[in-house]
């Protein structure tokens, strides 16, 4: 479990950021409102590689040597990794995409957008796309079921929807979020996360708590909370084993629960209380990287 907080470091200009590890855990990859993607060998790396993907970068995802970004030019772009060479445009929206993610094997990318749409695109053939319409406001986040049967999305319309990917239909929907008209006005980014492996649980940040929904029945089966977390949670991330769930959000809190016992096993507060907006586990499960709205990156070991 993470128990040591490493010093924060400047990564991007002030504004929204996102962060992840590569498959091997060797690299930390971040993006920000400066439009750059940066590839770090560690947070001590003073010679990080930089890739400009647009005026702003809202989200990134990395799998199988492919780096995908959601940029302010209304496109979802793909680059090689770690070289950073442009490899084309996966899909376009009529306004900026807000979040991107890979499925568990890296064959598909899901993207949500401020034009209310969700798309699933085949990485090997970007002409093969599925479009999911049903939200009435910008999409906040998307996440794949590890079995690749379902896709979940959260929206500024206040809903979290689970879609059947092949049928392109809604399996269920929960009206659990506060409504707003734009991602920039949302109290939470509601970055959803599906439990690895069998995908038994879907974790949904709802205000200062995390709701857990059971795959298949779609019942709300549990709630994770902590007395010290009183402000909205922006993002959640499962440990690779699926045993632990980390959450970060407004006020700079980073919290980790043991999901079976519902016990909070780790809680930290970012030194200056800046809002955490990006969060990811190392593939080994021994550390968590996070980013905040001031452009800084941090690691818990």
Residues 152-156: contacts with CB under 8 Å, at least 24 apart: 152/192, 152/194, 152/202, 152/204, 153/110, 153/112, 153/118, 153/192, 154/190, 154/191, 154/192, 154/204, 155/112, 155/116, 156/180, 156/181, 156/182, 156/183, 156/185, 156/186
Average of per-residue pLDDT across 140-160? 98
User: H helices then E strands: how many in the chain?
Assistant: 0, 28
pLDDT of residue 4: 60
Is residue 301 a contact partner of residue 284, using CB atoms and an 8 Å limit?
Answer: no
Residue for token pair 């995802």? 61
Q: What's the pLDDT tens digit per position in 58-80?
A: 999 999 999 999 999 999 999 99
CA distance 153 to 128: 20
Q: Which spans in the chain are helix H?
A: none
CA distance 219 to 232: 22
What's the first-to-final CA gap in the chain, in angstroms? 7
Average of per-residue pLDDT across 129-133? 98
% residues pLDDT > 70 (the chain) = 98
Domain boundaries, the chain: 9-300
pLDDT of 1 over the 70 cut? no
pLDDT of 6 over the 80 cut? no
C-alpha 175 chain-centroid distance = 20
pLDDT of 301 over the 90 cut? no
Task: Look at 282 and 3; give whichever has higher pLDDT.
Answer: 282
Rounded to two decimals, what is the model's pTM? 0.95
CATH superfamily of the 9-300 domain? YVTN repeat-like/Quinoprotein amine dehydrogenase (2.130.10.10)
Task: Look at 7 and 252; give whichever has higher pLDDT.
Answer: 252
**Residue 8 phi, psi (nearest 5):** -70, 155
Is residue 211 a contact partner of residue 154, using CB atoms and an 8 Å limit?
Answer: no
Please report which confidence band the pLDDT of residue 46 belongs to, taking 50, 70 and 90 as the band edges.
confident
Could you please report the per-residue DSSP string of 65-77?
TEEEEEETTSEEE
């Amino acid at each position: 479990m993470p128990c040591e907080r490493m010093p924060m470091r400047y990564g991007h200009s002030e504004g929204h950021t996102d962060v992840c590890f590569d498959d091997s855990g060797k690299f930390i990859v971040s993006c920000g409102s400066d439009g750059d993607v940066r590839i770090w060998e560690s947070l001590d790396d003073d010679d990080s590689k930089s890739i400009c993907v647009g005026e702003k970068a809202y989200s990134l995802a990395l799998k199988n040597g492919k780096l995908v970004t959601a940029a302010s030019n209304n496109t979802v772009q793909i680059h090689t990794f770690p070289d950073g060479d442009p490899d084309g445009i996966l899909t376009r929206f009529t306004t900026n995409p807000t979040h991107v993610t890979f499925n568990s094997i890296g064959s598909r990318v899901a993207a949500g957008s401020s034009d209310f749409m969700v798309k699933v695109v085949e990485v090997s053939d970007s002409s093969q796309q599925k479009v999911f319409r049903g939200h009435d406001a910008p999409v906040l986040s998307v996440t794949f079921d590890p079995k690749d049967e379902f896709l979940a999305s959260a929206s500024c319309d206040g809903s979290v929807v689970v879609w059947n990917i092949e049928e392109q239909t809604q399996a269920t929907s929960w009206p659990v979020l506060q409504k707003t008209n734009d991602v920039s006005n949302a109290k939470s980014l509601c970055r959803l996360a599906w439990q690895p492996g069998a995908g038994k649980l879907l974790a949904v940040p709802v205000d200062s708590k995390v709701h857990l929904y059971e795959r298949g029945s779609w019942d709300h089966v549990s709630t994770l909370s902590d007395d010290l977390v009183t402000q909205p949670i922006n993002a959640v991330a499962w440990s690779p084993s699926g045993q632990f769930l980390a959450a970060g959000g407004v006020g700079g809190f980073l919290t980790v629960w043991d999901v079976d016992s519902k016990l909070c096993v780790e809680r930290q507060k970012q030194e200056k209380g800046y809002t955490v907006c990006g969060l990811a586990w190392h593939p080994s499960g021994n550390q968590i990287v996070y980013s905040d709205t001031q452009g800084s990156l941090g690691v818990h070991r």
